[in-house]
A and B are shown apart, each in its own frame.
Chain A
């Protein structure tokens, strides 16, 4: 990286800020891990060590079902939203076409709309659309996995698109143009030049999408069918009687699982990096 800037923004200040941010982000997580081993049901009271909550977790088939629904919904909706969101980001930043402004505005609405409004509107939409399909075509549909995914994609396209656009905006298009002259097909130009260039934005968008999907309560609650609830909805419904430390245990397991996943993907990246693909990154990015 450029040394001139490093001299101006002292490295130690950046490093301290980085450390503070990470401590801030992980303080509640550490607490959560600790209390997942506390025998007391009262939050914040240490009741001695126990692994009881992990045991109940493995016995609780309902909890396991909600976790599996959550993970499936998150993966499927993130995949769809990332593809659609990236496509729309490219279209909006790189092309002029009819209806562009309308599309642009439409893509902001899911970010702006209050949760509960979206929840109510999706509920009404599905129930009325299903009634319509039933009365006109005799197709009987019901809410469940698909309606949750459809709703999550509906708000996540917008979020992915915003992050990817932040990456593309102002990015020099000459490289891509050169590439499209160089490579035989548009697809190749996209695959070997554009995609690597926007990859950090796409990754960021995907991370945001998966997080939003894993965290959504209100919309999911209204569009889920019987027996198809996600983990956050289940947890939210528990708050009246008190969220048991089992939920802390669930969080810890999710944490460990994602850490394993990350470790795996870092390994994968190393392998890729050694194949030399990193050269296609922005100039100076690897120094």
Chain B
């Protein structure tokens, strides 16, 4: 309930300003400490017991864009007689402050792994009523409970994927080495100078360099980080752009030859290409990022029962498969497997055979700012 306290502290600050009173320096802390009553009442209000399939209003969904099959939304609306109102965000970092500030009005949000652990710690998520979500049992044990939500009390995995490289095979050749060296090895990558994009994301891009060096994505060693920073700084001269959004389109329109990006987006872009066989995606042999997006309830979700019902609906075997067939991302739903299109299930891009070298990005706490600083400094 930490964030709750901060919010109340903030109320005190605003109040102080509004009333133009000259409160002492500790007034906000006192206010935070003295408000257990408000905290309880909030958790009571949102903690009402929900039954399976119960709805208590329309569903306000805050999701990544184009991340749910519209037919699934329609099916949910028809089955439960409620409307699904969806808004989208383009990054965890844009969504989190909005939800944490309170009064966001959303019932279900879909944060990624590391953001889940942050939001749990800050008290921005409310514990799920597992009784209302019998389909939780469908989740693959790999994803439930997940390392970022170790008790499985707050989230249900939605989709999963990897971060790696999309390449133009007509330039790199079918037998291209599958290594981060394509970006970070000066000699190897010199062939593709000016034709590479990297994600504009400190954790992903520095993480790729860390993997190339054989370190963990989640290192908290400043020396290892400095090595990785130097690699990225060196690569800046060879890349076309840092791009987190259009890398797939730049690749398949011939503007670039190597693109650092997310598996599903890359596959989606490749499918749009004139000759999809000319392109592929892989996680380099040194390893890379695995990530999940997860359904969760904001601490002040106005319609918690509808939210639980929605999560249960998505975790249904067939619905989970529909999600993956539409998104081209991996399904964390073990029961869905029989319903997933064979071409998706057998696609190495969606379901890589060797997942041993994949690593989740985790919140490194106070070390986190070092990653963003290193990234800013690497760019110069």
Contact = CB atoms under 8 A, between A and B. Distances in A.
**A contacts B directly (C-beta below 8 A):** yes
Interface of A: 40-45, 62, 120, 123-132, 135-136, 142-143, 221-222, 224-227, 229, 234, 236-242
Given A226-B62, A226-B104, A237-B65, A131 B7 contact: yes
A222 B87 contact: no
Given A128-B11, A221-B98, A237-B87, 18 more contacts: A44-B253, A45-B253, A123-B98, A124-B10, A131-B7, A131-B10, A131-B103, A142-B103, A143-B103, A143-B105, A222-B98, A224-B87, A226-B104, A240-B65, A241-B265, A241-B268, A242-B245, A242-B268
Given A143-B103, A238-B65, A241-B268, A227 B18 contact: no
Nearest to A60: B70
Interface of B is mostly: mixed
A79 B89 CA distance: 29
A226 B253 contact: no
B103 A127 contact: yes
B134 interface: no
Given A62-B86, A237-B88, A242-B246, A221 B94 contact: yes
B89 A237 contact: yes
B131 interface: no
A238 B268 CA distance: 14
15 contacts: A42-B249, A42-B253, A43-B253, A45-B253, A120-B97, A123-B97, A124-B10, A127-B7, A129-B18, A131-B102, A226-B105, A229-B87, A237-B65, A239-B246, A240-B66
Contacts of B106: 226
Given A226-B106, A227-B85, A227-B87, A124 B101 contact: yes
B45 to A, nearest CB: 12
A28 to B, nearest CB: 16
B87 A242 contact: no
Chain B, interface residues (CB within 8 Å), range: 35 or more
Contacts of A127: 7, 10, 101-103
Contacts of B15: 132, 136
Contacts of B87: 224, 226-227, 229, 237
A128 B105 contact: no
Contacts of B273: 42
A225 B105 contact: yes
A244 to B, nearest CB: 9
A237 B89 CA distance: 5
Contact of A222 (B97, B103, B265): B97
B365 to A, nearest CB: 22
Find the residue from A126, A224, A241 having the highest chain B CB count within 10 A: A241
Given A41-B272, A229-B87, A241 B14 contact: no
A134 to B, nearest CB: 9
B252 interface: yes
B90 interface: yes
Given A227-B87, A238-B65, A241-B66, A132 B18 contact: yes
A222 B10 CA distance: 17
Given A142-B103, A226-B106, A240 B253 contact: no
B109 to A, nearest CB: 11
A127 B104 CA distance: 9
